[in-house]
Amino acid sequence: MKPVVQFVPQVLDAKVEAEALPKPGRLCLFGLPLSVGDWDCLLAHVRGLVGHGTGLTVMSFLDAATVSAMRHRSPYRDALASRLLLASGEGMKVASRLLSGTALPATFDAATFVPAFLTYVTEPLRIGVVGGSAAELVAAVDALRRHAPWHTVVPVAEGGFDEAEAEIVLGRIPEEGLDVMLVSLDAPASDGWIERLVRHSHASLVISAVGLIDTALAGSPLQRLRSLEGRGTRRTTLIRPAGRTLRLIRYGGALAAEWVRQKRA
């Protein structure tokens, strides 16, 4: 099946039963275990982690930015090691071929996986969203509701809070708890509080969904306004390309270091 990438209401023609699909494979990259498979396989696997006494699962997408962020942050790396990790982006394709000699069946990111997952699951779920400004959060929740109206989607908290405030944020979760909590913060390492504070009573599945708010706002007046606010300054024009270049350099260094480590092992 093809991933649903637009926030518009749609229903899949048929749902492939999870029992008929192969289980995800395992691949170790950068010392972290990745779950690998095609779209049907991973969607069915993640669906099976929601409810039914499965305990708490935290899911993230491992991409070049995340690899760079974890290199000098041992607590964040430890947190990632305990999560369900899906490979994301061209950087992981290159890393898989270089470090393991295998091609990934598919790569994923929050912007495509989350809407596809919400469409795939036909049973109503309770979903909470964390991230963005107050206005962006409201708009993103509305977009998710329109995309899959059979689910109950509620705003939990806007982004920009620190770890000390995370416990207050979790106190806003409805008393009956959530099936899925979507945490869409700006930076990969800004969600380290999840392992420390989130319990199964809060949600059975937490998805660290960097970039999801931006996707939900795509084409909206709010996104156009935000784009206009970011234009016209020489500082913005220079900083964005420089930031991308720096991230590529850091990821290249991480990839080279991992290749050397494997050769020496």
Neighbouring C-beta atoms of residue 203, cutoff 10 Å: 27
Q: Stretch 162-182: mean pLDDT, rounded?
A: 85
- pLDDT, tens digit, for every residue of 108-119? 998 899 999 999
Mean pLDDT of the chain: 78
The first and second tokens of residue 224, run together, are 């156009």
Q: With bands split at pLDDT 50, 70 and 90, how would you rate the model's confidence at 69?
A: confident
Judged against a pLDDT cut of 70, whether residue 146 lies above it is answered with yes
Q: Are 21 and 48 in contact (CB under 8 A)?
A: no
Judged against a pLDDT cut of 80, whether residue 77 lies above it is answered with yes
Judged against a pLDDT cut of 80, whether residue 103 lies above it is answered with yes
Which residues make Cβ contacts (< 8 Å) with residue 47, sequence separation at least 6? 18, 117, 120, 121
Which own/partner contact pairs does 105-109 have at CB distance under 8 Å and 24+ positions apart?
A: 105/25, 105/36, 105/37, 105/38, 105/41, 106/36, 106/37, 106/38, 106/39, 106/42, 108/3, 108/39, 108/42, 108/61, 109/61, 109/63, 109/211
Judged against a pLDDT cut of 60, whether residue 149 lies above it is answered with yes
d(CA 23, CA 36): 9
- Please tell me what DSSP assigns to residue 19: G
Q: pTM for the full model?
A: 0.78
Highest mean pLDDT among 113-122, 132-141, 229-238, 254-263: 113-122
Neighbouring C-beta atoms of residue 190, cutoff 10 Å: 19
pLDDT of the residue at 229: 44
Domain borders along the chain are 23-223
R_g (Cα) of the chain, nearest Å: 19
| Side chain identity at residue 149, one-letter code | P
| Side chain identity at residue 7, one-letter code | F
d(CA 109, CA 207): 11
Highest mean pLDDT among 65-79, 181-195, 199-213, 235-249: 199-213
- Please tell me what DSSP assigns to residue 23: P
